[in-house]
Copies of this chain bind each other. A is one copy, B any other.
Amino acid sequence: MNGKPLVSIVSAGLSKFGKLDGMYGREIFAEAAKEAYDRCPNLNPKKDIKALFVGHMGEAYEHQGHTGATVADWAGLLHVPATRTEAACASSGAALRVAIQAVLSGLSDVVMVGGVEKMTHRSTAEVTEYLAMASDFPYEQWQGMTFPGLYALMATAHMHDYGTAEKDLAMVAVKNHYHGSMNPKAHIQKEITLETAMTSRVVAWPLKLYDCSLITDGASCLILTKPELAKKYTDMPVNIVGSGQASDAIGLYERESLTSLAAAKIAAKQAYDMAGVKPEDVNVAEVHDCFTIAEIIAYEDLGFCKLGEGGRIVENGETRLGGRIPVNTSGGLKSKGHPVGATGTAQAYEMYLQLTGQADRRQVIGAKIGLTHNVGGSGATATVHIYRRD
């Protein structure tokens, strides 16, 4: 707990997550921005915000690129420099790191960072194809591989190496739907039983329907500033005290391990070291549960348990609200939903709520240190950030 704050989050916004018919992505982003502005009456957005960074994964969904300038205008920030970042499903985790650097650089005192994706107007086949662009074209896409298949390979390897069971995967879904049932902005706000998860149809064995995250529309954003300016905007800043990012080979077949993400481990080490925090210090975390196996691997990569014990700690309830380290209190990608470009900063939004005591029925009492873990593709990008309420 000796990490110097890099930046302070002084406000945050999240659109409703779900099937938002009739809205363009830019309008959904504006909804998130409005919440951030409403929470922060001392902020004059057009005057104070000096840069905007927005994670957006796919221009295919709306046949629309140039997302930075577009959402800047819709968020009331005409003429503000605005840049889209893309790192697959870690697009806004990467935007967050870029935004932190922008503040630290001294070029931009106050920065908006967020993410957006509009997906549900497309068919499942289209979405599957567009998402696949985050995997390797010649050696994965071209062979017919899609993301459920890639994560199924990781799941079967984990089962083989560590005895992880289909039930362990299902328990992640049960927990995250329980958490999501308490999040009024979640895409699906209902609990499910273990039986529902276990008997749902197979998508790519051992992954069943309830092992997969949701195709969702949504947007998220944060307002960041220098720690010394934070009090101008809020009495309850949340400081970001650690930031890590790493890459890996894009193709799963090229990796040294199928059961651990090297990029996530490297990013986590950077973030922990920078923050002066150990895994056991973390009170609440949002991890990238694009598939249930991904959450189990995340526990291990982040040091929340030993290698191979991810299935056990979810079965024991250690990562459930009230447990040792509640994970994905928002419902995660599994129940809150996964508008891919928006996910990284949506995780940070949950940290903002948790560390300022605004998480209502899903509040982790006394949470002081939080962590977010955002993964792109099958692990070729990972970002980890650590948050602290001082």
Contacts and interface: CB of A to CB of B under 8 A. Distances in A.
Interface of A: 24, 51-52, 56-60, 62-70, 72-73, 77-88, 94, 97-98, 100-108, 133-138, 141, 243, 245-250, 262-263, 266-267, 376-377, 380-381
Contact of A94 (B77, B80, B83, B266): B83
A79 B266 contact: yes
Contact of A245 (B64, B81, B246, B247): B81
A148 to B, nearest CB: 17
Nearest to A106: B104
B381 A78 contact: no
Given A60-B59, A102-B101, A250 B66 contact: yes
Given A63-B133, A68-B87, A248 B380 contact: no
A269 to B, nearest CB: 11
Nearest to A79: B246
- For A57, A81, A84, A103, the residue with the greatest tally of chain B CB atoms inside 10 Å of its CB is A81
Contact of A137 (B58, B64, B83, B134): B64
A82 B247 contact: yes
A137 B63 contact: yes
Contacts of A52: 247
Given A73-B249, A101-B105, 8 more contacts: A24-B138, A64-B137, A66-B377, A81-B246, A82-B381, A85-B85, A98-B101, A101-B104
